[in-house]
Amino acid sequence: MNNPDQPVIPEHTLDRDCTTLSRHVLQQFPSFSAEAQDISAIMNRIALAAKLISRRLSRAGLMAGTLGFTGETNVQGESVKKMDVYANEVFISVFKQSGLVCRLASEEMEKPYYIPENCPIGRYTLLYDPIDGSSNVDINLNVGSIFSLRQQEGNDLNAEARDLLQDGHKQIGAGYVLYGPSTVLVYSLGQGVHSFILDPSLGEFILAEENITLPAHGPVYSVNEGNYWQWSESIREYIRYVHRHEGYTARYSGALVGDFHRILLQGGVFLYPGTVKKPEGKLRLLYESAPLAFLVEQAKGRASTGFQDLLDIVPDKLHARSPLIIGSTEDVQLVESFIQDWTRRVSEQTAVTSS
Ligand code: AHM
Ligand code: MG
C-alpha cells in the first residue's frame, strides 16, 4: 500500500527509462568482469555510431553531400553511396583510441582495417555493414546497419584475416540498427534477443522488448520476385505454392534489416536465394547473413542456405556470399523442402538418363 507521506514516483516509467543499453549489456554477465566491461563499452560505441548515422540520415535531404553516389565502386563491384562512406568512417572513428577493437572489417573495405593503438589490448574484431539497403537512402525509406563481434585469433595483422574464416557459431555477439520512423537497436550476446529504441530527448537507447521469440509460422514471405526468371525451378515452385495457398502475404522493402525486423517481430520468412548464374546469391555471409542468423537462432527461429544451417557455413574469403532463408522454423523448413525435393528429383533424373 502507498505511504501517504511519500511522493508518488512513477516507478514503472523510471525503471524503463533507466534500462539503457549499457546497463542491459552488463546484466548479461554474471559478474562485473573485464570481459563484461569490454563488451559493454563496445556496445556503447556501436550505439554512438548508430546515433551519428541516425542524425545524418534524418537530415539527409537538407545537408549537402549526403545523398547520391560518390562515383566509386566498392570491392563488391557495387556503386558506393555517400552515406555508405560516411557510415563506414563513423564505425572506424568511434573505435579509434578505444583499446577495445583491434580490427574492423566491412562491406565497404576490401581488407580489414587495423587500429594499431588498440592492439593487442583489444582482442576483438567487429564486422559490419555500415548502411544496409543503401538504395533506400535517396528516397527516405528504411535502411540499417548490421554488426557481428568475433574474438581475434592470432597476431598476423597484415595477412588476409584468415582467423575470421570460421563458422557463424564463433560469433560472440551480433545485432543491427534499423533507421526507420524511430531508430531501433537489436542485439544478442547469446542469451536471447533484445530490442532498444533511441529516445532522442535522452540520447539513449532504452529497452523496448526482451527475449524476443518468433512464432513457428507467420504469414509473410519476403523476397524480390523480380528475380523469378533467374531462379532455379525449386524456388519458382515454392513461390507458386505461396501464390496458390491462402494465408500468405508478400512484403519486401529492399533493405534486409527492415525486412528481417518484420519477420523477427511477426514471423514468416525472408529469402535471398541464389540464381542459376550466381548460386551463392547476393548477401555477404560474415557481416550480413551470419549476424542475422545468430539473432534468429536466439529468437527460436532458423537460418538456412537451403541445404544446411547458415551458422555452419565456413566462408572461403572475407566477402563471401551465401544464399539466405531466414525466419520462422516451419516457414524456413517449407522452403528447404522445395529446394531439397527438387535437387533429389534432378539427381534421380540424371542417374536414369546416364544409366
Ligand atoms: P547493400 O548492403 O549493398 O545495400 O545490399 C544488400 C541489400 C539488402 O539490404 C537487400 O535485402 C538486398 O540487397 C536487396 O537486393 P535486391 O535489390 O536485389 O532485391
Ligand atoms: Mg548490405
Question: DSSP 3-state assignment of 186?
Answer: strand
**At residue 1, does pLDDT exceed 60?**
no
Tell the residue nearest (CA) to atom 11 of ligand 1: 256
Q: How many domains does the chain have?
A: 2
Q: Are residues 178 and 302 in the same domain?
A: no
Q: Are residues 177 and 292 in the same domain?
A: no
Tell the residue nearest (CA) to atom 14 of ligand 1: 254
Residue 144 CA: which ligand 1 atom is closest? 9
Q: Are residues 203 and 250 in the same domain?
A: no
Q: Choose one of 183, 209, 235: the last residue of a domain.
A: 209
pLDDT in tens, 48-107: 999 999 999 998 777 777 777 787 887 777 777 889 999 999 999 999 988 889 899 999
pLDDT in tens, 92-108: 999 998 888 989 999 98
- Retrieve residue 14's grid coordinates: 523510471
Query: Residue 153: what are its φ and ψ, rounded to 5°?
Result: -115, 135
Tell the residue nearest (CA) to atom 17 of ligand 1: 254
Partners of residue 304 on adjacent β-strands: 309, 325
256 close to ligand 1 (CB < 6 Angstrom) = yes
Q: Are residues 141 and 249 in the same domain?
A: no
* Full residue range of the structural domain in which residue 271 is found: 220-354
Provide, rounded to the nearest whole percent, the portion of the chain with pLDDT above 90. Answer: 72
Q: Are residues 180 and 310 in the same domain?
A: no
224 close to ligand 1 (CB < 6 Angstrom) = yes
Residue 257 CA: which ligand 1 atom is closest? 9
pLDDT in tens, 295-330: 999 999 999 999 999 999 999 999 999 999 999 999
pLDDT in tens, 135-165: 998 899 999 999 999 998 876 665 667 888 9
Tell the residue nearest (CA) to atom 15 of ligand 1: 254
134 close to ligand 1 (CB < 6 Angstrom) = yes
Tell the residue nearest (CA) to atom 18 of ligand 1: 224
Tell the residue nearest (CA) to atom 7 of ligand 1: 133
Q: How far is residue 310's CA from residue 297's CA, in Å, rounded to a whole number?
A: 10
In a domain, residue 108? The reply is yes
Q: How far is residue 130's CA from residue 82's CA, in Å, rounded to a whole number?
A: 12
Q: Choose one of 150, 184, 209: the last residue of a domain.
A: 209
Q: Distance, CA 227 to ligand 1 centroid (Å)?
A: 13
Residue 224 CA: which ligand 1 atom is closest? 19
Q: How far is residue 291's CA from residue 311's CA, in Å, rounded to a whole number?
A: 9
Q: Name the residue among 251, 224, 255 with its Cα closest to residue 133.
A: 255
Q: Choose one of 209, 228, 243: the last residue of a domain.
A: 209
In a domain, residue 4? The reply is no
Q: Are residues 101 and 40 in the same domain?
A: yes
Q: Distance, CA 32 to ligand 1 centroid (Å)?
A: 39
Return the ligand number nearest the Cα of 80: 1
Which CATH number characterizes residue 318's domain?
A: 3.40.190.80
Q: Are residues 38 and 185 in the same domain?
A: yes
Span 172-179, average pLDDT: 98
Q: How far is residue 72's CA from residue 104's CA, in Å, rounded to a whole number?
A: 21
Q: Name the residue among 81, 80, 106 with its Cα closest to residue 93.
A: 106
**What is the structure's pLDDT at 350?**
85
Q: CB of 176 within 8 A of CB of 297? A: no
Q: Are residues 195 and 226 in the same domain?
A: no
pTM equals 0.93
- Retrieve residue 42's grid coordinates: 563496445
Which CATH number characterizes residue 171's domain?
A: 3.30.540.10
In a domain, residue 163? The reply is yes
Q: Name the residue among 276, 294, 205, 270 with its Cα closest to residue 236.
A: 276
Residue 134 CA: which ligand 1 atom is closest? 4
Q: How far is residue 102's CA from residue 38's CA, in Å, rounded to a whole number?
A: 12
